[in-house]
Amino acid sequence: MEAPFFSSLAAGEGLGKEGGMAHLDLRDGGKLLILSDLHMGCGPRDDLAANGRLLAVMLRDYYLPKGFILVLNGDIEELQRYRLGEINKQWRELFTLFDEFAAAGRFVKTLGNHDEDLVYEKNYSYPLYQALRVDTGQIPVFIYHGHQSSKLFTKYNYLAHSLVRYIFAPFGIRNVSVARSPYRRFSVEKKAYAFSLAHSCISIIGHTHRTLFESLGRLDYIKYEIERLCRDYTAAPDTDKVRIAAEVAALRGDLSRLRRSERRDVLRQSLYGDELPVPCLFNSGSAISRKGINALELNNDAIALVYWFTEGGGRRFVSRGNYQVEKVNGRCRAVLNHDRLDYIRARIELLGSPGNSGAHNTKS
């Protein structure tokens, strides 16, 4: 049985008092940039401080002139630790950029658990939604923050808000976060994955700060990538074998580090149980990594996971892979993963559970 939020999402209902669900139609064109978890604050503990300048450059010099619709998918302002007026003063340049997207009719904002108090701000500039449905002509896409699947945040967020603002923040205590708990990340992702599988659609979430592409996190993706490279190795000329061997060795190092960072019993679990992964769940990651900003780009044909970083400071795997890297005003945009929506739709239809096959119309 689905949680109330997911039932309302599937039915296209109101989704509660915080603005319901917005709709975008990309069937005749258009493209989205999807960002989440900016956690804009102020002062020395501002989570966005390291990447704020990078974010401003990518919005102003790339996405705004290229006609993208900006979708901010929850936890944009960090209202559990700071007041909106303080955030506005700190990030005036970013809010000015948001205004430019909004003035062009290219701005959508959904609520997260860290910024849901915006519904009580009488003079807030932008409409707020719980979710966004995107009609692509290939497959329905639902964009929502993801905290709605957790009782902790849907029923007791007011308590978490009070603890963070009045106890954790003044004493410099790090607040409890889903992003720091592999168990809670897995729970959120599993519920969103189950909804998407049941309704033959794509879900794009944030909340966990963990990038997912076609339902695969970095650890799962590395395993599949190693397998692919091993297959390529057998038919490769000798000059390419050296390169492939080096890539496999580097990926094995990444895999080892990821395994050490997660608990073993969580690693044994899978979003898709003992079945093949169904590519119905995506996560745009966050903008507060020390190494750069992750985001998703979507149009009516394809979806891509992109990574923005400062030139000279990118992740090591960007330099060794066959990634498309574009330089923009001293910053770099790398396409980490890219796939066609018709191919994703076909895989969802073929790999989805037999009980769901053909039960839902995947055309949007």
Where are the domains positioned within the chain?
Answer: 4-215+271-351, 219-266
Nearest alpha carbon to residue 188 among 227, 154, 229, 236: 154
At the second CATH level, the architecture of 4-215+271-351 is 4-Layer Sandwich (3.60)
- The pLDDT, as a whole number, for residue 77 is 96
Is residue 135 within a helix (H) or strand (E), and if so which, with residue range? strand 131-135
- The pLDDT, as a whole number, for residue 150 is 63
How far, in Å, CA of 50 to CA of 95, rounded? 17
- The pLDDT, as a whole number, for residue 171 is 44
- The pLDDT, as a whole number, for residue 236 is 85
Question: 83-89 — which CB contacts under 8 Å span 24+ positions?
Answer: 84/118, 84/121, 84/124, 86/41, 86/42, 87/40, 87/41, 87/42, 89/42
Q: Which amino acid is at 315?
A: R
List the pLDDT tens digit at each of the 364 positions of the chain.
Answer: 467 788 888 887 666 555 689 999 999 999 999 999 999 999 888 999 999 999 999 999 999 999 999 999 999 999 988 999 999 999 999 999 999 999 999 999 999 999 888 988 888 989 999 999 999 999 999 999 998 876 554 444 444 444 444 444 444 444 445 444 455 667 788 889 989 989 999 999 999 888 888 877 666 667 767 877 787 888 888 888 888 888 888 778 777 776 666 554 444 455 555 456 788 999 999 999 878 999 999 999 999 999 999 876 655 556 555 677 899 998 999 998 899 999 999 989 988 855 443 334 444 5
User: Which sign, positive or negative, has the C-alpha torsion 313, 52, 185, 202?
Assistant: negative
3-state SS class at 260: helix
Taking only Cα atoms into account, the Rg of the chain, rounded to an integer number of angstroms, comes to 20
Sequence-distant (6+) residues with CB within 8 A of 174 are 168, 180
How far, in Å, CA of 47 to CA of 39, rounded? 6
- The pLDDT, as a whole number, for residue 38 is 96
Question: 332-337 — which CB contacts under 8 Å span 24+ positions?
Answer: 332/308, 333/58, 333/62, 333/306, 333/307, 333/308, 334/306, 334/307, 334/308, 334/309, 335/304, 335/305, 335/306, 336/213, 336/304, 336/305, 336/306, 336/307, 337/213, 337/214, 337/221, 337/304, 337/305
How far, in Å, CA of 272 to CA of 88, rounded? 42
Structure tokens belonging to residue 314: 């990118």
Nearest alpha carbon to residue 210 among 187, 226, 189: 189
